[in-house]
Structure 1
Amino acid sequence: MRIAYGVMGYGRGHAMRTMSVLPALMQEHDVTVFAGADAYDVLAPRFPTVRIPTIGYQYNDGGSHSLLRTVRRNFAPMSDLLFGGAGTEQVANEFRQRGINLVISDSEAWTHRVSQKLGIPRISFDHVGIIAYCKPHFPADLWALGMRDAWGYRSLMGVPERILISSFYPAEPAYPQVKIVGPMLRDEVLKAQPANGDYLLAYFNKGEHQYLPHVDRALRLLDCKVVVYGTPHRGEDENLDFRAPSVEGFVRDLAGCRAVLSTAGNQLIGEAIHFGKPILAVPEDAFEQRLNAHMIERMGVGMRADLMQLTPSDIDHFMGSHAWYVSNMREHAGNGRVEAIETLRRYINEIAQPRRRVAASRSGALPRPVAARRSA
């Protein structure tokens, strides 16, 4: 089949999940990736990729999400998405020219909406579906936000023909076409050998905004080396080692660290649990990440802290429970990659069967009858 694979461009987690299944799909199908921003930068050097618009959070000078800036920055692309515009027309034209007959989307809005418009069947494969397409499992303080975001996501994306969810924690599907699998572990992760290093790995998905002076101070006051990814800084400075983005390098540092301090993306959490690395989650001010941080504490594999008020004592308190967190890792570690690929293949085949029957009926070809077996 000719497949369009849409990937949400904000952050790198969506791209990492895509990389875990795309090589297998490309062996059997003609796949074109549609992505923008961070995801485009990760995927374009490796796969045929079309650059498309992206919607994402904007930040204020204090490092928090800015509602005003987010609305202002996303007004034009949201208008394009909801009412049609250059971006929507670009994606639609690419679909027509390439003869796309199936869309797989990882939280990517343009490919979802255009496929609905053109009548192309869809498979949703992401993590946010655990909010939108599963029964509510939110803590009391996040319940209203969760119900709002679930409704908003369904309103924007609809309910696809097939829904596959990758998550580091379980949930109960709310629709019959939903299946949940474990985290997607990339080849780089599966090949890496874990080691008990003496350094803390710090990752910020938008470090140019999140790596604030008080965060820098908290890390410098620690009695250990800190390897930092996601900021504009480079090189060693006191106990801090700022590193450039690198898929292989990051996985190597993750496998060898003592623990992880990071924003609360599903993909990194799943990989950290795989390597047995406790997580100090400092979630963005977004429901999905706040829920992920809550689940980390509930599972006993780490703790959560407020990025805007992070102190050295928060990190010391977290590291003081290191042994207990490690003892809970094996219960929650998992790799859903093989099951996800098998499920995607089955979904693709199920969607393709009616199309084959329609094509056969239009050509006048009838299915051959099964020959009756002779009785002995």
Structure 2
Amino acid sequence: MDERPALCGRCKGGNLPGVAPMRIAYGVHGYGRGHASRALALLPKLRERHEVLVLAGGDAYELLRADHPIQRIPTLRYVYGPNACCCHLKTLVRNLPAAIDVMVGGPCLENTCDILKSFAPHVAISDAEFLTHRAAAELGIPRIGFDHFGLIAYCRFQANWLDRPKLCVDGWTYRWLVRRPERIVVSSFYPAQAWYPGVRVVGPVLREAVRTTAPIDGDHLLVYLNQARHQFTPQLAAALTTAGCPVRIYGLGQRKAEGNLSFRPTSNLPFVEDLAHCRALLCTAGNQLVGEALYLGKPVLVMPEDTVEQRLNAAAVCRLGVGECVAARRLDPEAIQGFLERLHQYRIRIRRVVAEGWIDPYGVLEESLAELKREVQPDPTLAEKDA
């Protein structure tokens, strides 16, 4: 039985009357599946009214290319060391050429500008995709920043003192990369207060499959790893083997089952069904997946990656009382078993937290599009396509 409250009782704000059709360039950061999952939720609604071209690389390109018009562009990535932790030095070295390209107007930025000139969008939406942001800014195309990372750049948050210097650096870097969009929308499963003018904080963007799949308290523990080849360590495998229940793992692709561990291929609808029918979720601390899990009433055990954004998300999980946080190196059979024994109290808390309501991201996005349509005229050289 689906015990979720009606959607209208959970989300504040509604869709506006239809905005006049527009051409929209939609940049999606390619690392992991969270950014692409937001796009999967938004694109069908946007394409009902508008002409949309997606710009993405990495994981997002692979996930979106079958169903949506898309152009491949480079993407920033984290680099992992042999201990399955993010190596900050290697990550910096790996991404430095892209940063230099943006600074000097190199071939990557020029190529992205050429894509936008050809498509001639009225507005650019960017989910933490810096090339789309910078190219649109260069061409005078009004922009909407729509992601979760904006929470670090534009909002007040609770963080430990050790993370605060890194948060300042990350926030400054993000603002430097994207410059100042005309509209900023931050999607988050937990509340945050904006300190930057004009910032709107909304709830998670829920895919249609998530909205329409009835949750069931099943037997299996669902595991999702966004960089499984680094994160699925022998220690994690041993801990999951002793979980005392079936475990379904996404991120490693399909392979032969190992005891109670079954390995599922990358997918959309089958993953949502496994999420809706699971006992609980074990995952990294990405905002998008945690938000979907909470909507479906699933407690979460998060293993944050070595980034301050994920540590903020993990701290929010604990602060809201909807699950637990454990460092990957400390995940053992006792941690998993203790978490599973406390599921009932987390389910109660999830119902209370989510019933308070999330601001509807679709309504806010359509409102932003309507405002920009009225307020800003695109570059005349781009407007030729409307003639």
TM-score normalized with structure 1 length: 0.91
Give unmatched runs, 5+ long, in structure 1: 363-376
| Matched AA of 2:100 | S
8 Å CA contact 1:182–1:334 kept in 2: the answer is no
The alignment status of 1:83 with 2:130, answered yes or no, reads no
The alignment status of 1:66 with 2:75, answered yes or no, reads no
RMSD over aligned Cα, in angstroms? 2.0
Post-superposition Cα deviations, 1:35-78, rounded to whole Å, max 9, x if no partner, equal: 00100011111110000000110111221112232233223222
- The 1:100/1:223 distance shift into structure 2, 3 A limit, reads same
Match of 1:325 among 346, 369, 373: 346
Moved more, 185-194 or 326-335: 326-335
User: Superposition pairs for residues 240-279 of structure 1, below 5 Å?
Assistant: 240-279=261-300
Query: 1:237 offset after TM fit, Å?
Result: 1.4
**Higher Rg of the two aligned structures:** 1
Query: 1:118 offset after TM fit, Å?
Result: 1.5
- The 1:61/1:195 distance shift into structure 2, 3 A limit, reads same
Query: 1:183 offset after TM fit, Å?
Result: 1.1
- The 1:290/1:338 distance shift into structure 2, 3 A limit, reads closer
Partners of 1:271 and 1:90 lie apart in 2 by 35
User: Superposition pairs for residues 4-23 of structure 1, below 5 Å?
Assistant: 4-23=25-44
8 Å CA contact 1:198–1:225 kept in 2: the answer is yes
Aligned twin of 2:55: 34
Aligned twin of 1:54: 75
Aligned twin of 2:158: 137
8 Å CA contact 2:210–2:272 kept in 1: the answer is yes
| Matched AA of 2:211 | L
Query: 1:324 offset after TM fit, Å?
Result: 1.1
- The 1:336/1:24 distance shift into structure 2, 3 A limit, reads farther
Partners of 2:243 and 2:169 lie apart in 1 by 39
Partners of 1:172 and 1:140 lie apart in 2 by 19
8 Å CA contact 2:113–2:135 kept in 1: the answer is yes
- The 1:95/1:337 distance shift into structure 2, 3 A limit, reads farther
Aligned twin of 1:281: 302
8 Å CA contact 2:78–2:87 kept in 1: the answer is yes
Partners of 2:47 and 2:243 lie apart in 1 by 46
| Matched AA of 1:39 | A
Query: 1:135 offset after TM fit, Å?
Result: 2.2
Post-superposition Cα deviations, 1:341-368, rounded to whole Å, max 9, x if no partner, equal: 2222221121122346998xx9xxxxxx
Partners of 1:200 and 1:141 lie apart in 2 by 33
Match of 1:342 among 363, 376, 379: 363
Give unmatched runs, 5+ long, in structure 2: 1-21
8 Å CA contact 1:185–1:335 kept in 2: the answer is no
Aligned twin of 1:370: none
Q: What SS does the corresponding residue of 2:49 show, helix, strand or coil?
A: coil
Percent identical among aligned pairs is: 43
Partners of 1:144 and 1:81 lie apart in 2 by 25
| Matched AA of 2:187 | S
Moved more, 331-340 or 254-263: 331-340
- The 1:245/1:358 distance shift into structure 2, 3 A limit, reads closer
Partners of 2:59 and 2:37 lie apart in 1 by 11
Q: What SS does the corresponding residue of 1:27 show, helix, strand or coil?
A: helix
Query: 1:124 offset after TM fit, Å?
Result: 0.6
| Count of aligned pairs | 360
Partners of 2:358 and 2:118 lie apart in 1 by 31
Post-superposition Cα deviations, 1:21-48, rounded to whole Å, max 9, x if no partner, equal: 2122222222100000100011111110
Aligned twin of 2:176: 155
- The 1:220/1:349 distance shift into structure 2, 3 A limit, reads same
Moved more, 164-173 or 138-147: 138-147
Query: 1:157 offset after TM fit, Å?
Result: 1.4
Q: What SS does the corresponding residue of 2:285 show, helix, strand or coil?
A: coil
TM-score normalized with structure 2 length: 0.88
| Matched AA of 2:43 | L
Partners of 2:362 and 2:301 lie apart in 1 by 30
Post-superposition Cα deviations, 1:273-308, rounded to whole Å, max 9, x if no partner, equal: 111111100010011111100000000000100112
